[in-house]
Structure 1
């Protein structure tokens, strides 16, 4: 089954299609231009002939009216003139013109005279090659002046011009098509380089980038955008690998602890305190459960692409009061009413993570405050965090040495979840020195 022309056209390369389209448009434009040129040239030359013939006819009519006509009538450009009296007899003619047969019979003369325009006349019946342009004017005493001029030279000139255009136009189209093919090929060369560069980027060469052309055009913008995308993909892959590596490291410790406790208990069942063993295994199991929940929370944040799970009005003050009530060490210093747009569960998790960190490190008290402009602060009086580490602790699986020494410490995902969740809600989070202690400041835009 033969494919349709449209399918065949779509299967062709971009270079061929652009060249063919440009050649087709050029051919159409040149054909229309040639047609208009010949038409305008024909009308201009015919108009010139008509004007010249009319001038000769008017001059003869003036002489006829004055009775000063001489025979033969003299013209210098080959114009044929006949003067016909009221009885239809030819009285005066130019040299070599028929004195017996008028160029136009009486009805034809009357018709041309009434129109006031020149008429086309076949000159072959009058032993004249080609066509003539004929003008008829009325003179005194019933006389009629008939003037005609051959247009064979005009037709020959138009035919010559047509042949030149017929031969020259295709040659010009071919020439411009070749030039278009070369120019389009040169224009598409950077895209070919991009394709080859993309083909060379493999799993083992992720750090390579696509070649960027020197020209500041759309291809340059495309290459820059693609390189930025590759950089983001490489960064995301590195983060994913680091996440998998850190998660495996965090999972290995509690699993090894569980295995060791069970092996010791099974190896020495008589001397083993099974309740202590169960409590130790339960503690490690809870640690694994918290780690799995944190990893799932981060995975959901990454899957949503920085967008909250829900977008609904949330009474942030109510969320703060409910969360603070679960911590005996915490005190609610201020809680102004404020409504934000987002997910209540995610915002509750943000405050819970901040409270867990504050309670874990505080010496005596934790203060929580919420202002009406959506600024939430959680302050403890613990040892704090050095200024150079306050940004680093928001990275995933990042724990300071002091945090690693605590058995109840987390896996270093709490603050990472806080930042990702706050960003998804259009807010910011930072850590400040509370002198003494540390203050976590969360800014969320109030709902409008």
Structure 2
């Protein structure tokens, strides 16, 4: 049997020994929250002391995590050390008790019993509780009697000099003597174990403090270096205004998340710059396109107002009507472009027969300056908006009529391998140079030989046609054909369902 004798009593304000540490911590946290709730100023101060920056929060989290790990590891080390030392002391005390028990069995208990190294006292009691033999330091001492339990061990009242301020491990062994049974009590000092535990605790506390300081300093420095590019990116973005979209954020050389963030930001700024450039150019071109017919219209009206000749009035009103129609067409094109530029509409999916669309469009246009030959031998159905697809074809036909020399050809085929319907509008006009085949799809763009106002174009027909094709998940391109100009529109066709056999 092993017992522990704590010499010092617990402090008066200490929590009861049977209260778990977690419950005490929970009650302490609840008390702090109630206190802060009753004191708004304290709550505001605690809120101000809460770290705001990522750097401070990261450092605090790292230190807290390391502190928890160090606390658990230190507790484990101290516990294992304490258990090992107490087992050693208990083994020595038990060996001393066996020696005394053998002496008792042999009837050699006379005189003070010798103490081995690390043993504090020996006391032998008979069945009546009378002291039979003791060590020198317990001579005249009454029998040891338990006074209670603490930390899972029985406690004893021990008034022997020199043993009131440290723990002891008491071992008891029963033995049979010629005069009757006795119980041998041997007390081994835990002074060495207490000293080792205290020294180890102090060393671990100092080492933990050094490690926490090191971890905090390294985390603070590493986080600052890691966030320095982020701060540079933030500062540069904050300095970029709507007139400085040509500026770019610095890109770190490291191939990490921050470098990819900077690259993404620069790509976004490049898109914004391109969009801003297109918007400014569009506004300038639209202003120019609107100013020219308005100026001519005003001039015609002023001349008509200054002359009273009916023939002059008729000519001027006819010209004004033509400019008004041009303005109306330009406004309609601008409105359609605004609708196509919105991103809140879904992909149109109404079934549209392209062959029928081509024939009805040609018939509705009536007489044309140049004849149109149609080659649409098969029925091709695509999902789309019939009004917008009709507008696409109309714009391509208007462009072909303006630039054709003698005739225009419309061809409709299917490319089942790629799943597209192919609509070609070809005219025998002057071919478009390869360098100009993308420029003609820019809004208000005209080639040098196509700037005559007599041709009636607004510079928006081809861009509108390409936007409609893109809205239908298709493409509109210019083919490289000698002596002719072909605009090819490719629109996806739905897959044919498998046929039952």
TM-score greater than 0.5 by the shorter chain: yes
**Alpha-carbon deviation of 1:296?**
1.9
294, 300, 303: which one aligns with 1:264? 303
**Alpha-carbon deviation of 1:175?**
4.9
Q: What's the C-alpha RMSD, in Å, of the aligned pairs?
A: 3.5
Contact 1:432 1:439 in 2 (8 A): yes
Residue 379 to residue 203, structure 1, CA distance change in 2 (3 Å): closer
Which residue is 1:322 aligned to?
360
| Structure 2 residue 113 is the aligned partner of structure 1 residue 76 | no
**Alpha-carbon deviation of 1:45?**
2.2
Contact 1:121 1:132 in 2 (8 A): no
Residue 186 to residue 365, structure 1, CA distance change in 2 (3 Å): closer
| Structure 2 residue 174 is the aligned partner of structure 1 residue 138 | yes
**Alpha-carbon deviation of 1:442?**
1.6
Contact 1:431 1:440 in 2 (8 A): yes
CA distance in 1, matches of 2:321, 2:209: 89
Which residue is 2:399 aligned to?
357
Residue 351 to residue 139, structure 1, CA distance change in 2 (3 Å): farther
Which residue is 2:17 aligned to?
none
Equivalent residue runs for 1:117-196 within 5 Å: 119-122=153-156, 124-127=158-161, 128-129=163-164, 130-141=166-177, 142-165=181-204, 169-170=208-209, 172-196=211-235
Residue 9 to residue 220, structure 1, CA distance change in 2 (3 Å): farther
CA displacement 1:335-379 (0-9 Å, x = unmatched): 644554443333332222122222333322322314264323233
Equivalent residue runs for 1:20-169 within 5 Å: 20-61=60-101, 72-73=113-114, 75-78=116-119, 80-86=121-127, 88=129, 90=131, 93=134, 96-98=136-138, 101=141, 104-105=144-145, 119-122=153-156, 124-127=158-161, 128-129=163-164, 130-141=166-177, 142-165=181-204, 169=208
Equivalent residue runs for 1:231-250 within 5 Å: 231-250=270-289
How high is the TM-score relative to the length of structure 1? 0.83
Residue 312 to residue 380, structure 1, CA distance change in 2 (3 Å): closer
313, 316, 333: which one aligns with 1:277? 316
Secondary structure, counterpart of 1:397 in structure 2 = coil
Secondary structure, counterpart of 1:192 in structure 2 = helix
Contact 1:57 1:145 in 2 (8 A): yes
Contact 2:307 2:313 in 1 (8 A): no
CA distance in 1, matches of 2:338, 2:280: 14
272, 277, 294: which one aligns with 1:255? 294
CA displacement 1:78-132 (0-9 Å, x = unmatched): 36444445565555555x2535657645xx6xx99xxxxx955446323323232
Contact 2:233 2:249 in 1 (8 A): yes
Residue 233 to residue 365, structure 1, CA distance change in 2 (3 Å): closer
CA distance in 1, matches of 2:51, 2:296: 63
CA distance in 2, matches of 1:85, 1:249: 123
| Structure 2 residue 376 is the aligned partner of structure 1 residue 376 | no
Q: Which moved more, 1:127-136 or 1:60-69?
A: 60-69
**Alpha-carbon deviation of 1:240?**
1.0
| Structure 2 residue 460 is the aligned partner of structure 1 residue 413 | yes
Residue 446 to residue 61, structure 1, CA distance change in 2 (3 Å): farther
336, 353, 363: which one aligns with 1:297? 336
| Structure 2 residue 476 is the aligned partner of structure 1 residue 429 | yes
Secondary structure, counterpart of 1:407 in structure 2 = helix
Which residue is 1:386 aligned to?
433
Unmatched 5+ residue regions in structure 2? 1-39, 496-501
Secondary structure, counterpart of 2:188 in structure 1 = strand
CA distance in 2, matches of 1:391, 1:175: 62
Secondary structure, counterpart of 2:455 in structure 1 = coil
Which residue is 1:313 aligned to?
350
**Alpha-carbon deviation of 1:151?**
1.1
Contact 2:372 2:407 in 1 (8 A): no
Which residue is 2:376 aligned to?
334
Which residue is 2:20 aligned to?
none
Which residue is 1:221 aligned to?
260
Residue 39 to residue 48, structure 1, CA distance change in 2 (3 Å): same
Residue 42 to residue 333, structure 1, CA distance change in 2 (3 Å): same
CA distance in 2, matches of 1:170, 1:397: 72
Contact 1:122 1:131 in 2 (8 A): no
Contact 1:85 1:91 in 2 (8 A): yes
Contact 2:118 2:189 in 1 (8 A): no
